[in-house]
Structure 1
Amino acid sequence: MMREPPACSHAPLMPSIQESLTTAEQLYAAHRFEDAARLVRAVLPLVPDHAVARHLLGTALCAAGRVEQGLGHITAALLLDPGQPAYAVNRAVLLQACGQRAMAERAHRRALRLRPGDGRLLDGLGTCLGELGHSDEALGLLRYRAALTPEVGDVYRKIAILQQRTGRLAEARQAYRRAWRLGGGDGLLLREALSLPVIPRSLAEIQESRARCAAVLEEARGLGLRIADPLREVGVTSFFLSYHGLDDRGLNVELARLYRQACPSLLYTAPHCREPDASARRQEMAGRRLRIGFVSDHFHAHTIGMLNQGLVERLSRDRFEVVLFFTPGPEDDLRRHLKAVADQAIDVPATLEEARRIIADARLDILYYTDIGMSPFTYFLAFARLAPLQCLSWGHPDTTGIPTLDLFLSCDAMEPEDGEAQYSERLVRLPGPTVHYRRPVLPEPRKTRSAFGLPSEGTLYLCPQSLFKLHPDYDPVLVDILRRDPGGTLAFVDPREQGQALLERLAPKGPDVAGRIRLLPGLGAMDFLALTADADVMLDPFHYSGGKTTLEALAFGTPVVTWPGAFMRGRHTLGFYRLMDLYDCVARDPDDYVYRAVRLGTDPQLRALVRARILQRSGVLFENTDTVRALEAALCAPVPPQPAGADA
Structure 2
Amino acid sequence: MGTREGLAKLEAGDLAGAEAEFLPVLFANPKDVPALHGLARVAMGARRFDVATDLLGQAKKLEPASERLALDFLEACSALASQQPGNASVHYALAQGFLELGDIEAARDALVASLMADPRHVQARWLVNRLLPRVCGNPQEIALWRRRTATGIAILDATVHPASPEASALELPGLLARTNFDLAYQGQDDRQFQEIYGRLVHRAMTAWLPDLAEPLLPVPFVFREDKRIRIGFASAHFTRHTVFMFLSGWIRHLDKSRFKVFCYLVNATPDDWTQEIAGACDEFRHLQCALEDSARNIRADALDVLIYPDVGMDARSFALAAIRLAPVQMAGMGHPVTTGLPSIDIFLSGELLETEASETHYSEKLVRLPGISVCYHPLQTQQTKQRADFGLDGADTIYLCCQPHQKYLPQSDGVFTEIAGLVPQAKFLFFDHPARHYDNYRFKARLRQAFLARGLDPARHLIFMPRQAWEDFIQLYGLCDVFLDSFGWSGGNTSFEALSRSLPIVTLPAPLMRGRQSFAMLKILGLDECIARDALDYVKIAVRLGTDQDWNRHIRGRIAQERGKLFDDLTPVRALEAVVAQAVVG
Query: Which TM-score applies when normalising by structure 1?
Result: 0.79
CA distance in 2, matches of 1:314, 1:442: 22
The residue aligned with 1:73 is: none
Tell me: CA distance 1:405–1:101, structure 2 relative to 1, closer, same or farther (3 Å): farther
| The one of 350, 360, 363 aligned to 2:299 | 360
* 1:408 has 2:340 as partner: no
| 1:150 CA drift (Å) | 1.2
CA distance in 1, matches of 2:430, 2:515: 19
CA distance in 2, matches of 1:640, 1:564: 37
* 1:109 has 2:46 as partner: no
Tell me: CA distance 1:257–1:275, structure 2 relative to 1, closer, same or farther (3 Å): closer
The residue aligned with 2:538 is: 593
CA distance in 1, matches of 2:38, 2:72: 14
The residue aligned with 1:185 is: 121
The residue aligned with 1:374 is: 313
For residues 131-170 of structure 1, the aligned pairs below 5 Å read 131=64, 132-134=66-68, 135-170=70-105
Q: Which runs of 5+ in 2 are unaligned?
A: 1-15, 162-166
The residue aligned with 1:455 is: 393
CA distance in 1, matches of 2:294, 2:279: 21
The residue aligned with 1:201 is: 137
Identity of aligned residues (%): 31
CA distance in 2, matches of 1:190, 1:562: 37
Deviates more, 1:288-297 or 1:222-231: 222-231
The residue aligned with 1:510 is: 451
The residue aligned with 2:51 is: 121
- Structure 2 SS opposite 1:457: coil
1:84-133 Cα distance to aligned partner (Å, 9 max, x none): 99x969x79x95xx6x65543233334566xx444531432564687532
Paired residues of 1:164 and 1:197 also in contact (CA < 8 A):
no
CA distance in 1, matches of 2:127, 2:234: 25
The residue aligned with 2:277 is: 338
| 1:309 CA drift (Å) | 2.9
Deviates more, 1:506-515 or 1:561-570: 506-515
Tell me: CA distance 1:417–1:469, structure 2 relative to 1, closer, same or farther (3 Å): same
Tell me: CA distance 1:275–1:638, structure 2 relative to 1, closer, same or farther (3 Å): closer
Paired residues of 1:88 and 1:111 also in contact (CA < 8 A):
no
The residue aligned with 1:531 is: 476
Tell me: CA distance 1:495–1:176, structure 2 relative to 1, closer, same or farther (3 Å): closer
Tell me: CA distance 1:483–1:83, structure 2 relative to 1, closer, same or farther (3 Å): closer
State the aligned residue count.
550
2:488 alignment partner AA: H
1:527 alignment partner AA: D
CA distance in 1, matches of 2:171, 2:239: 25
* 1:482 has 2:482 as partner: no
CA distance in 2, matches of 1:354, 1:344: 17
The residue aligned with 2:257 is: 318
Tell me: CA distance 1:275–1:539, structure 2 relative to 1, closer, same or farther (3 Å): closer
Tell me: CA distance 1:387–1:363, structure 2 relative to 1, closer, same or farther (3 Å): same
Paired residues of 2:202 and 2:341 also in contact (CA < 8 A):
no
Deviates more, 1:557-566 or 1:576-585: 576-585
Tell me: CA distance 1:244–1:533, structure 2 relative to 1, closer, same or farther (3 Å): same
For residues 33-432 of structure 1, the aligned pairs below 5 Å read 95=30, 101-110=33-42, 116-118=46-48, 120-125=50-55, 127=57, 131=64, 132-134=66-68, 135-183=70-118, 185-224=121-160, 228=169, 232-233=173-174, 234-265=176-207, 269-270=211-212, 274=215, 281=220, 288-327=227-266, 329-349=268-288, 351-432=290-371
Structure showing greater Rg: 1
CA distance in 2, matches of 1:639, 1:187: 39
1:26-64 Cα distance to aligned partner (Å, 9 max, x none): xxxxxxxxxxxxxxxxxxxxxxxxxxxxxxxxxxxxxxx
| 1:517 CA drift (Å) | 0.5
The residue aligned with 1:10 is: none
- Structure 2 SS opposite 1:408: strand
| 1:166 CA drift (Å) | 4.5
| 1:616 CA drift (Å) | 1.5
| 1:222 CA drift (Å) | 3.1
CA distance in 2, matches of 1:267, 1:424: 23
1:483 alignment partner AA: G
For residues 531-570 of structure 1, the aligned pairs below 5 Å read 531-570=476-515
Tell me: CA distance 1:153–1:464, structure 2 relative to 1, closer, same or farther (3 Å): same
CA distance in 1, matches of 2:557, 2:182: 37
Paired residues of 1:545 and 1:571 also in contact (CA < 8 A):
yes
| 1:268 CA drift (Å) | 5.0
2:123 alignment partner AA: G
Tell me: CA distance 1:581–1:352, structure 2 relative to 1, closer, same or farther (3 Å): same
1:121 alignment partner AA: V
CA distance in 2, matches of 1:275, 1:556: 47
CA distance in 2, matches of 1:495, 1:163: 15
CA distance in 1, matches of 2:130, 2:19: 42
| The one of 410, 423, 442 aligned to 1:501 | 442
| 1:404 CA drift (Å) | 0.6
CA distance in 1, matches of 2:547, 2:52: 56
1:131-175 Cα distance to aligned partner (Å, 9 max, x none): 532454433322221121111101111222233444543443232
Paired residues of 1:269 and 1:385 also in contact (CA < 8 A):
no
- Structure 1 SS opposite 2:399: strand
Q: Which runs of 5+ in 1 are unaligned?
A: 1-80, 642-648
The CA RMSD measured in Å over matched residues stands at 3.0
1:303-356 Cα distance to aligned partner (Å, 9 max, x none): 112223322121001210011112354443321122122111112115311111
1:468 alignment partner AA: Q
| 1:235 CA drift (Å) | 1.6
- Structure 2 SS opposite 1:534: coil
For residues 616-635 of structure 1, the aligned pairs below 5 Å read 616-635=561-580
Deviates more, 1:520-529 or 1:326-335: 326-335
1:235-274 Cα distance to aligned partner (Å, 9 max, x none): 2111111110011111111122233344545555549x64
The residue aligned with 2:9 is: none
